[in-house]
Structure 1
Amino acid sequence: MTAPTTFRIGGDLEVRRLGFGAMHLRPDTAEARAACVVVARRAVELGVTLIDTAHMYGWGANEDLLAEALHPYPADLLIATKVGIRRTTSGEGWRHAGEPADLRAQVDEALLRLRLDRIELLQLHRLDPAVPLPDQLGALRDLRDEGKVGRIGLSEVTAAELAEARTVVDIASVQNRYNLLDREHEPVLKACEAAGVAFLPWRPGAAGTSGARSEIAAVAKELDATPTQVVLAWLLTHSPVILPIPGTTSIAHLEENVGSNAVSLTQDQYDRLDRASESA
């Protein structure tokens, strides 16, 4: 089975489907920072053209690191970031921040950290339950109209929330938790397919547990691949709108993940993996 290798986000912004999630690149020492810079640069060397970050990832530190590692950016590189969450010193350490004025401020901060004039894909990290959805997305729509944002995405939404959001503004992407063994958001994926919306699954490698499943291990052995490569290949085969964003701080794991591009499943292998997910 041959899966498409690229996707046009928003209908016009072409990226290679297998991206890189930069969430783990949050070093606490100079030595670790240098190593993270090497990982980010290696991802681009390997042909990755979609990198996902967020203000929440180190409260701006992840965006700063990507700018240090990759600016000036290659012409074909898309760095997508997320806003809508602020740091706190209590509870879970964060709060929703969907007030229009706050969203505008967060976008300006992200532009400075990433050294950009325009964020080509800006995702709302969480819908703020205290702010009407049209107000949140209306603020992002205004920023798009002003040229600070190219396309607007959502994260952690239901199919109904996606439908409501699309009545306010064009939605280019959705980022929800999803993998072979965790398909809770299948209805959202189907809604994205119907609308031509990119679906960026986070935790696409099944959080490192895929190797423990006998059927995944069997297919990996047949293909001389790793279990992680098999589950990523399944995602790429499962839907043309899926853009996996596996993350790592290891060059070896990065190269393993990108190597899943070369893994081609037969129809039988795909079907066996698909059935394995039903008993997850």
Structure 2
Amino acid sequence: MGSAILAMDLGWMGPNYSISTACATSNFCILNAANHIIRGEADLMLCGGSDGAIVPIGLGGFVACRTLSRRNSDPSKASRPWDTNRDGFVLGEGAGVLLLEELEHAKKRGANIYAEFLGGSFTFDAYHVTQPHPNDGVGVILCMEKALNHSRISREDVNYINAHATSTPIGDLKEYKALIHCFGQNLELRVNSTKSMIGHLLGAAGGVEAVATIQAIKTGWVHPNINLENPDEGVNNQTMYWILTLLLWLNKNDYRGDCFLG
């Protein structure tokens, strides 16, 4: 109903619906919105997500799954993607929304254009409700390869990845292996996880982290992976550039990727 109420207020009569696909919700919304514009069904679309699961039933479900960090005595250190001492994710809340617009329509009205959407992909592990596929992130690999193909760019063109990396023992490792498989050992590829600083926003994560990625494109500044003190084996700057401090990355003309699992 939220999207319907907003559309009635704005007088927008194009495609209007809500999506619920767990942690990948926002990215489903963004890619679907882009496809509506590509097919000529809308000139512009609002898309993204919001989530607020810090309630008894929300916490209870994740406690039962044993997915949350138990570092209650030191919460600022609890979210630590790719660190050997990670023990689960930190639940966060928030919202992230983008306005996607057909390029010529945006130029005609003098809009500030922050980034260009090139493509994306959806895939399914077909394995388990919460666990990644045991074959070293095969579902993630398929999704990223299809996204690169859809975007018509090569893996060498990509110089920044905002990873899903939630700070879970299994998930982070599978995603790392998928990144290595898809992009190889590339010291020009910057990698970080926004969740290290704000926790996991579930359905809103893709929207918020898309905003972080677009800000990196706009400003050249890339935020760090905080709490990455004892990296997993292979997570080092001989494979990719794992960002540990605020980084000024001036090359704004290449391509960034946003990876979300759910």
TM category (shorter chain) comes to 0.3 to 0.5
Query: How does the TM-score come out when normalised to structure 1?
Result: 0.31
Does 1 or 2 have the higher relative contact order (CA < 8 Å, sep 6+)? 2
* Structure (1/2) with the larger helix percentage: 1
Normalised TM-score (structure 2): 0.33
